[in-house]
Amino acid sequence: MRHLLLAAVLAALLVTPGFAQETQVQSTTGVSAVFYAGVPFEGGQAIAVAGLDAEVTEDLAIADAGYVRLIVGSASYVFMIADVADPGQPAGATLVHVDGATRSLTEVSAELMAAMNASANVLVFTNGGPGDQGVVTAIVNVGKITASTNLPVAASTHVSVIAHGQIQWFAIVSLGTTLGTIVVSADEGTQIELAMTGDTDTLLNILGLIGVGFIAP
């Protein structure tokens, strides 16, 4: 259903003058950004679509954007914008709030693309809903942390586990700051059978169940 809704959004934008060329960039790079004046999943209006290397110009006016939906392959995630790219800069230079700081769209897209291509295992924390039904709060590369690493996941309500190139969604039941203290339950469509360990489990145990390792205990 999530992918059908995304397809409908892009189809609607394609009939708007000026959007077709930007969407063509997405088809060649595998990554695009849809800029919104308001929260996308709350009816916010889409105002521009661009590949991350597209130059910000008068035709690609994103100054009024407050949110951006980043489309990476078959995945889609929503970010709150901290600072839009200036005219003459690539759209990917837009800064978004994530990990308690700001990062560029180009940087976060590279991390998400690595996960989608099974080159990395990543946790994407969101607030409000799973996947693109919430706003990203943190992106954590599991291969770069330990079991005791404190994670910048404040205000998160859901987490997407992108492991071995596959996405599974979980609702957060109890929000701790480490893999062993964040307790989750399986969201709709999640493939892992939490019945093996109960209706809920820690992220640490779930990563073990699906064969994801990290640096050290």
Dump strand ranges (E) for the chain: 31-36, 46-50, 67-72, 75-83, 95-98, 101-104, 122-127, 135-141, 158-163, 166-174, 183-186, 200-202
How many whole angstroms separate alpha carbon 68 and alpha carbon 47? Answer: 10
Cβ contacts of 167 within 8 Å, gap of 6 or more: 75, 131, 160, 161
Angle at 130 between CA 117 and CA 32, to 5 degrees: 50
Tokens of 12: 């609607």
- Check residue 200 and give its pLDDT: 86
| Residue 187, pLDDT score | 60
Nearest Cα residue to 129 out of 98, 158, 152, 99: 158
3-state helix, strand, coil in the chain (%, to 5): 25, 35, 40
pLDDT for the residue numbered 190: 55
Count of beta carbons in the 10 Å neighbourhood of residue 58: 6
Per-residue confidence (pLDDT) for residue 196, from 0 to 100 = 44
Are 106 and 113 in contact by the 8 Å Cβ rule? The answer is no
Task: Give the tokens for residue 186.
Answer: 């399986």
Tokens of 58: 């008068």
Q: Whole-angstrom Cα distance, residue 24 to residue 28?
A: 7
Q: Please report, as a single letter, which amino acid is at residue 154.
A: A
Which residues are registered as beta bridge partners of 48? 35
DSSP-derived 3-state class of residue 68:
strand
What local confidence, expressed as pLDDT, does residue 48 receive? Answer: 93
Q: Which residues in the chain show pLDDT less than 70?
A: 1-29, 187-198, 213-217
